Amino acid sequence: MAPTSITRRLVGTGVFVFALLLQFTLTGQVWINEFHYDNGGTDQNEFVEVAGLAGTDLTTYSIVFYNGSSGTTYGTLPLTGSIDNEAGTNYGAVGFPYPGFMNAGSTVTTSTNPDGLALVKGTTVLQFLSYEGSFVATNGPANGMTSVDIGVRESSSTTANQSLQLKGTGNAATDFTWNAPSMASNGSLNAGQTIQGAAQIGTAQYPSLSAAILAATPGSTVTLLEDVTEGQFNISVGDVTVDGGGFTVTSAQNDVTDRIFEVTAPNFTLRNITLVDAPTFSLISSFGADGIVLSDITVRNSGRSGIAIACTDGATLTDISVFDTQGGLAFSITNTRNLTLTNVTTSGNSFGGGFSASIGVFSSTDPNFCGAGNTNLATDNIVVTGVVNISEPTAYYTQNVSTSPVTFNPTTVVTPAGLPFRVESPGDALFFSADAAGAIAGAGNVLLGNPGAAATLTITDTDTGNRIVAADINPPANPQATVDMSVQAAVNSIPAATPTTIQVRGGTYPEAVDYGTKEITIQVGLD
């Protein structure tokens, strides 16, 4: 498993981050799946079967047989060939005859006189099983190990066409249970044995979500079948869907640059999943991830932002909940255009550890932000709509955006921090919050990192088209010098022949306003 070094940038920071994307090798597990060692009369059809991931090369594996009375080996069976793919499951079984299989010492079902066998890869013991009791190996690869009694046995009532078999549902030996003698299926997965991996593509099962994603081709849908602790997943093939099936992915990574999903290919869809404990971002899209679709996703405890969309043209995010990010925003959107965020719930998210914030929109001034040789996109056409449930005191933050056409147009504002207005500004930093008074109160909590930009700041109520103007903007959260918005800027933003109301907060506006021929109504003193 060799790491590959790539270059990425942390959204909104303007500094390089070197991320190691782990390239997973599809090696698969192998286990002892079935065997027959004893029957009434002369022993016949003795064999041992192994099962595992299709395509696994068995030439490095062997079965070592142990005499339980002495703990010593009495034979070794080198395995050959590879595991077949049965019924499109991506798993299979291979049987190997072994005449002379010891049949323990008694046909009495209550006796303890065991023998055993070990599955060995190279010199590593993968399994050490026994029947009719357990014992300690005294030589060979399992030397010093205690065998695991499978709990069932063959006897004089067993026929030559029966065997001991694993049954149940899963994709590893520990998922199945050994059963009393039944009709043998030497060389095939057992009756009553259902293969179910951690993830699947069609009928093909995979032992991990990582393995399934690596096997995906354009048009594939990878379906998660259980909660997993894995990551990071590098989505570098276009037109792939990952359906979480309502399950949870908990990050197994601990490097400060690791993410759960890194998307660099177009038209990726992720849906119906919970992402937990990402060291940085739970999901980040980078240059090339145009057309990304995210839906029905819950994110918890990301080390930075929950979801970061960067250098992406076209993104649709629906029904997304983000909770308790540490040092990031719930959503971080940088050098991205044509993004719609519908139905959002956020709570407990912090930005840089300094304050709580939900949605951040950025534009980098670094010409190589999206990668050397790639064209930086201008941040444009960002829409937040639907049901907006934002608990953070700062709902919207933007930085280094010369024009920030971010439209907040929720159909329902569940908490006071929802922002039903559009903001356009050349300022380098804006923070917005709101209370029950909606956009008017929100305008009173505008902070510009560049106070001189206030002259061209405009705020538009997206429901009414009204412009909002506020003086003496100085929120307690950041007591910078007072900045005043301009009534003239609001007038200038209104198209000709469009009757419009300008709602002016109480304050002093030392300017002569030229209305031209525009039909404008001024409402003054709204706080």
How many residues in the chain?
527
Residues of the chain with pLDDT under 70: 1-28, 104-111, 256, 352-355, 393-394, 399-410, 413, 415-457, 461-463, 470-484, 506-507, 525-527
What is the pLDDT, as a whole number, of residue 512?
86
For residue 226, tell me if it sits in a domain.
Answer: no
The rounded distance, in Å, linking the Cα atoms of 512 and 489 is 12
In the structure encoding, which two tokens stand for residue 104, read together?
């323990």
Say yes or no: 127 and 253 in one domain: no
Contact by Cβ (8 Å): 23, 317: no
In this structure, the number of other CB atoms found within 10 A of the CB of residue 229 comes to 13
Contact by Cβ (8 Å): 383, 341: yes
Contact by Cβ (8 Å): 49, 28: no
Show which of 195, 225, 243 is a domain's final residue. 195
In the structure encoding, which two tokens stand for residue 386, read together?
């639907």
Q: What is the per-residue DSSP string for 424-489? A: E---SEEEE--BTTBHHHHHTT-EESSGGGGGG-EEEETTT--EEE-SSB--TTS----B---HHH
Pairing assessment for the beta strands 331-334 and 355-362 based on DSSP bridges:
parallel
For residue 500, tell me if it sits in a domain.
Answer: yes
For residue 205, tell me if it sits in a domain.
Answer: no
Say yes or no: 272 and 391 in one domain: yes
What's the domain range around 138? 30-195
Say yes or no: 54 and 153 in one domain: yes
Pairing assessment for the beta strands 380-390 and 337-347 based on DSSP bridges:
parallel
60 sits in the region (left: phi over 0; alpha: psi -120 to 50; else beta) called: alpha
The rounded distance, in Å, linking the Cα atoms of 308 and 338 is 15
Say yes or no: 152 and 254 in one domain: no
Show which of 178, 195, 212 is a domain's final residue. 195
Element holding 490 (H helix, E strand): helix 487-492
Q: Report angle CA 148, 150, 155 to the nearest 5 degrees.
A: 130
Partners of 72 in the β-ladder:
67
In the structure encoding, which two tokens stand for residue 408, read together?
């907040």
What is the pLDDT, as a whole number, of residue 109?
55
Say yes or no: 421 and 275 in one domain: yes
For residue 504, tell me if it sits in a domain.
Answer: yes
For residue 11, tell me if it sits in a domain.
Answer: no
The 3-state secondary structure of 311-362 reads CCEEEEEEEEEEECCCCCCCEEEECCEEEEEEEEEEECCEECCCEEEEEEEE
What is the pLDDT, as a whole number, of residue 488?
87
- Tell me whether residue 256 is exposed, middle or buried, using C-beta atoms within 10 angstroms of its C-beta: 0 to 12, 13 to 18, 19 or more: exposed
The rounded distance, in Å, linking the Cα atoms of 261 and 311 is 16
In the structure encoding, which two tokens stand for residue 316, read together?
């649709």
Say yes or no: 49 and 184 in one domain: yes
In the structure encoding, which two tokens stand for residue 439, read together?
């956009």
For residue 222, tell me if it sits in a domain.
Answer: no
For residue 429, what are the contacts with CB-CB under 8 A and spacing of at least 6? 397, 398, 399, 400, 447, 448, 449, 450
306 sits in the region (left: phi over 0; alpha: psi -120 to 50; else beta) called: alpha
Say yes or no: 191 and 251 in one domain: no
Say yes or no: 189 and 303 in one domain: no
Contact by Cβ (8 Å): 425, 403: yes
What is the pLDDT, as a whole number, of residue 11?
30
Candidates 260, 271, 203, 214; CA nearest to 237 is 214
> pTM score, two decimals?
0.72
Q: What is the per-residue DSSP string for 26-60? A: ----EEEEEEE---SSS--S-EEEEEEETT-B-TT
User: In the chain, how many domains are there?
Assistant: 2
Q: Which residues of 278-306 are buried (b: 16+ CB within 10 A; e: fewer)?
A: bbbbbbbbbbbbbbbebbbbbbbbbbbbb
For residue 337, tell me if it sits in a domain.
Answer: yes
Show which of 167, 195, 223 is a domain's final residue. 195
Element holding 94 (H helix, E strand): strand 91-97
Pairing assessment for the beta strands 30-36 and 47-53 based on DSSP bridges:
antiparallel
Say yes or no: 132 and 79 in one domain: yes
In the structure encoding, which two tokens stand for residue 249, read together?
């992915």
For residue 15, tell me if it sits in a domain.
Answer: no
Element holding 17 (H helix, E strand): strand 16-22
At 175 the three-state DSSP class reads helix
At 209 the three-state DSSP class reads helix
Say yes or no: 135 and 245 in one domain: no
Element holding 211 (H helix, E strand): helix 209-215
Say yes or no: 327 and 448 in one domain: yes
The rounded distance, in Å, linking the Cα atoms of 135 and 138 is 9
Say yes or no: 151 and 271 in one domain: no
